[in-house]
Structure 1
Amino acid sequence: MDSRISTQSIYSLPKPTRRNVNQQQTVSFHNFLNNEIRNSSVLKISKHAQYRMDTRGIDFSAEKWLAIQEKVKEARIKGVKDSLVITQDAALVVSAQNNTVITVLNRDEAKSQIFTNINGTILID
């Protein structure tokens, strides 16, 4: 061996160890998040539904809107995914699963429509 070449031991950094994430914690957080989403009582309005409401002049009083939110929440608890909500003045297609109003029609328009993929109906006077 040549005296000009010296050998040194190379110290390597310790390999990172994988932290075992407690499966129970992950599941608990997942359940917590799903419960929070399900229990959210604020009914959102999609852009499409808001546009329909604006162009058709459909407006709901605060009391009527709260009643709609409560009934959609009840429907979601009972397993309804998509619902038709019929009020005195309008018909709303609501995704109870996502807590979102998908579209809104006047009652006159709703008379001649066929609603599909709905597994629940809510009547509100």
Structure 2
Amino acid sequence: MDHRIHQVPQHALQFPAINGPKSKQSPIPFKDILSQEQGLKISKHASQRIAERNIQIDEQQWEIIGEKMQEAKKKGITDSLIVMNNAALLVNAKNHTVVTAMNREEATSRIFTNINGTILIND
């Protein structure tokens, strides 16, 4: 597994401004929202997988992921599997980085190694 962290292009993963869709402000890049709110990073690999597999994770879900990663880090978990209704994410809690992502159907047939914690999130 490639643990290198790559910059996400500015045009990728954009969300409307925090004030809502009717705001006339320009969109805030999603990676900026994450880094400001939770300090989350998304590796280049994870970003590609999320786009390729059309995984939809809204802002509220990302906030929950960030909070759970903080809790996991406090408990000494370094590498974790986050299982959601529609996706599974491998995260490095120590570095606060999403390493890869897959949809639930794909994750069902996988064996996950080198993790020391699992986080279940029901949306």
Normalized against structure 2, the TM-score is what?
Answer: 0.68
For residue 25 of structure 1, what is the aligned residue in structure 2? none
Cα distance, 1:59 vs structure 2:
1.9
More helix by share: 1
Number of residue pairs aligned between Structure 1 and Structure 2: 86
Structure 2: stretches of 5+ with no match in the other structure:
1-36
* Amino acid in structure 2 at the alignment position of 1:60: I
TM-score w.r.t. the length of structure 1 is: 0.67
RMSD, aligned CA: 1.0
Letter in 1 for 2:53: R
Separation (CA, whole Å) in 1 of partners of 2:39 and 2:86: 21
Give the 4+ runs in structure 1 shifted more than 6 A.
none
- Say which SS state the counterpart of residue 72 (structure 2) adopts: helix
Correspondence for 1:64 among 61, 65, 77: 61
Distance 1:52 1:41 in 2: 21
Residue type matched to 1:41 in 2? Q
Which one has the largest radius of gyration? 1
1:45 to 29, 42, 46: 42
1:42 Cα deviation after fit: 1.7
1:102 maps to 2:99 = yes
Aligned to 1:32: none
Cα deviation, residue 43, structure 1 = 1.1
Distance in 2 of aligned mates of 1:42 and 1:117: 23
Mapping of residues 109-120 of structure 1, within 5 Å:
109-120=106-117
Report the Cα offset of residue 41 of structure 1.
2.6
Q: Are the aligned partners of 2:38 and 2:63 in contact in 1 as well (CA < 8 Å)?
A: no
